[in-house]
């Protein structure tokens, strides 16, 4: 249960409200390429407007490193926001000072001010109190609705709360409530599907899911590291050699958990390999189940039986059809699935505009989660690449919950406190 005050717990009528949103959206050729995060912020903005409040919206975009850079301007977002809200959106050319005051003065009844990129000021990421005070100056209330940034201690997530009464918006509450409930009281069986590149980025998440879930399936580039940790030759595949000891520790941890209860830890059993990462790449399937297990250096090591399966010049770029089918089948046996990370290089499209040659494993998971094989479990989807993929397929509304925050959702799932939430007023 969310324990922080929300906009419904305080009076917003007629007030000037500083709203922190997460409009860190992809911009291509000067236009917003994916408006999902903007859409998710609309309920809070509309609530403020219906209560005659004057919202001043602040956000960051990209990494301009504390310098003004037109490439990272939020102006394209203002244009999209105006169409979605069907109200006047004044774009302030800065997030503090006279530009904000002038934009406020221009507002007609029911309008919104969207400020320029917070990160054009280095003080934002430095959590500067003087910068936060300048942000707060024109407002009477602060509303935090940028779930994607609340794991950071920045001026617009932490220091700002020392200058204004601070409460949550609807998106932040929904994200925290949904993720917390899934982690604390999931409908079982619970399954976690985890992809991505580096084990260290998701180490705590993997460990937590081994402790609380019934099945954990690993894919993506981190799957290569797990395979290599077992002695499988992975050719020119992306791995992190520094993560090899972690991979072995996780495998041991999963083995110990399986001895105590019914628990399954799934690593790739086959893979799609290729010499190049291109739409017209020639691919082939490598079957790791032909490997035999031997004891080398005191840990189970898989060594090739006969010829090396992955050639030196080849890369593992997706899980194979057996692994994808196994995971899809397991999805049919569980009630709740948390999915974070694609299973392959999904950003490579095919020559005809369809999903590319390294997206088949991820497609199987999507189809299984959406009930294409019969049963449809509750689905919680997170992670930038995962969200981007389901958005590109136009399927984002079909999942039970798609998180707007990559790092924040990881931190929350791992059981950590979020500074931007902790700083808000308690109920």
Estimate to the nearest angstrom the gap between the alpha carbon of 412 and the chain centroid.
11
In a domain, 419, yes or no: no
What pLDDT, on the 0 to 100 scale, is given for residue 382? 87
Handedness of CA 350, 407, 174, 126 (dihedral sign): negative
Q: Is the peptide bond before 189 cis (omega within 30 degrees of 0)?
A: yes
Helix (H) or strand (E) run with residue 242 in it: none
Same-domain status, 142 and 270: no
Instruction: Return the closest-CA partner of residue 268 out of 168, 194, 205.
Output: 194
Q: Which of 12-16, 48-52, 196-200 has the lowest mean pLDDT?
A: 196-200
In a domain, 273, yes or no: yes
In a domain, 116, yes or no: yes
Helix (H) or strand (E) run with residue 167 in it: strand 166-168
Tokens 């490579």 correspond to 348
pLDDT surpasses 80 at 302? no
Same-domain status, 149 and 269: no
Average pLDDT over residues 20-38: 93
What residues form DSSP beta bridges with 17?
55, 141
What pLDDT, on the 0 to 100 scale, is given for residue 292? 37
What pLDDT, on the 0 to 100 scale, is given for residue 298? 38
Quickly list H helices, 121-243. Answer: 122-125, 129-136, 170-184, 203-212, 220-229
pLDDT tens digits, 320-369: 999 999 999 999 999 999 999 999 998 877 544 457 888 899 999 999 99
What residues form DSSP beta bridges with 32?
27
Sequence-distant (6+) residues with CB within 8 A of 29 are: none
Q: Which of 74-78, 288-292, 407-411 has the lowest mean pLDDT?
A: 288-292
In a domain, 420, yes or no: no
Q: Which of 114, 148, 170 lies at the terminal end of a domain, its last residue? A: 170
Query: For residue 135, what are the domain limits?
Result: 7-170
How many other C-beta atoms lie within 10 A of the C-beta of residue 30?
11
Q: What would the two tokens of residue 198 be?
A: 């580096």
Same-domain status, 153 and 198: no
CA distance 120 to 109: 29
What pLDDT, on the 0 to 100 scale, is given for residue 407? 87
pLDDT surpasses 80 at 273? yes
Instruction: Return the closest-CA partner of residue 157 out of 329, 22, 350.
Output: 22
34 close to 391: Cβ distance less than 8 angstroms: yes
In a domain, 412, yes or no: no
Average pLDDT, the chain: 91
Same-domain status, 94 and 205: no
Q: What would the two tokens of residue 262 be?
A: 């019914």
In a domain, 176, yes or no: no
Instruction: Return the closest-CA partner of residue 209 out of 195, 229, 196, 190.
Output: 190
> Which CATH number covers residue 149?
3.40.50.1260
- The domain total for the chain is 2
Q: Which of 170, 201, 221 lies at the terminal end of a domain, its last residue? A: 170
pTM of the model: 0.89
Same-domain status, 221 and 332: yes
In a domain, 208, yes or no: yes
Going by their DSSP bridges, the two strands 27-28 and 31-32 should be labelled as: antiparallel
Q: Which of 172-176, 384-388, 395-399, 409-413 has the lowest mean pLDDT?
A: 384-388
54 close to 92: Cβ distance less than 8 angstroms: no
Same-domain status, 207 and 314: yes
Same-domain status, 265 and 129: no
- The residues that are catalytic are 37, 198, 384, 407
In a domain, 426, yes or no: no
148 close to 179: Cβ distance less than 8 angstroms: no
pLDDT surpasses 90 at 201? no
């Amino acid at each position: 249960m969310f324990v922080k005050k929300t906009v419904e717990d305080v009076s917003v009528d007629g007030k000037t409200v500083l709203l922190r949103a997460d409009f860190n959206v992809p911009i291509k050729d000067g236009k917003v390429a994916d408006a999902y995060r903007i859409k998710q912020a609309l309920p809070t903005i509309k609530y403020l407007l219906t209560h005659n409040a004057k919202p001043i919206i602040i956000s960051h975009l990209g990494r301009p490193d504390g310098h003004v850079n037109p490439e990272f301007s939020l102006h394209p977002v203002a244009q999209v926001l105006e169409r979605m809200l069907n109200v006047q959106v004044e774009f302030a050319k800065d997030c503090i000072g006279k530009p904000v005051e002038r934009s406020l003065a221009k507002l007609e009844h029911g309008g919104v001010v969207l400020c320029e990129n917070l990160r054009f000021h280095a003080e934002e990421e430095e959590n500067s109190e003087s910068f936060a005070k300048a942000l707060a100056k024109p407002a009477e209330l602060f509303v935090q609705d940028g779930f994607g940034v609340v794991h950071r201690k920045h001026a617009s997530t932490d220091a700002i709360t020392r200058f204004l009464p601070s409460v949550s918006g609807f998106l932040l509450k929904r994200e925290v409530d949904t993720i917390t409930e899934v982690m604390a009281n999931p409908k079982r069986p619970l399954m976690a599907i985890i992809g991505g590149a580096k084990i260290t980025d998701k180490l705590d998440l993997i460990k937590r899911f081994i402790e609380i879930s019934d099945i954990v399936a690993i894919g993506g580039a981190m799957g290569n590291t797990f395979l290599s940790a077992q002695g499988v030759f992975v050719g020119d595949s992306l791995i992190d050699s520094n993560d090899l000891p972690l991979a072995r520790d996780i495998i041991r941890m999963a083995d110990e958990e399986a001895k105590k209860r019914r628990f399954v830890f799934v690593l790739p059993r086959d893979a799609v390999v290729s010499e190049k990462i291109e739409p017209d790449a020639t691919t082939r399937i490598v079957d790791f189940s032909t490997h035999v297990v031997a004891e080398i250096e005191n840990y189970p090591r898989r060594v090739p039986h006969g010829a090396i399966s992955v050639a030196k010049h080849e890369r593992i770029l997706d899980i194979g059809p057996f692994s994808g089918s196994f995971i899809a089948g397991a999805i049919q046996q569980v009630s709740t699935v948390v999915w974070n990370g694609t299973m392959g290089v999904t950003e490579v499209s095919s020559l005809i505009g369809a999903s590319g040659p390294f997206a088949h494993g991820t497609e199987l998971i999507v189809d299984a989660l959406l009930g294409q094989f019969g049963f449809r479990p509750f689905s919680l989807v997170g992670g930038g690449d995962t969200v981007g993929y389901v958005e590109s397929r136009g399927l984002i509304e079909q999942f039970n919950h798609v998180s707007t925050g990559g790092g924040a959702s990881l931190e929350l799932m791992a059981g950590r406190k979020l500074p931007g939430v902790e700083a808000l007023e308690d109920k």
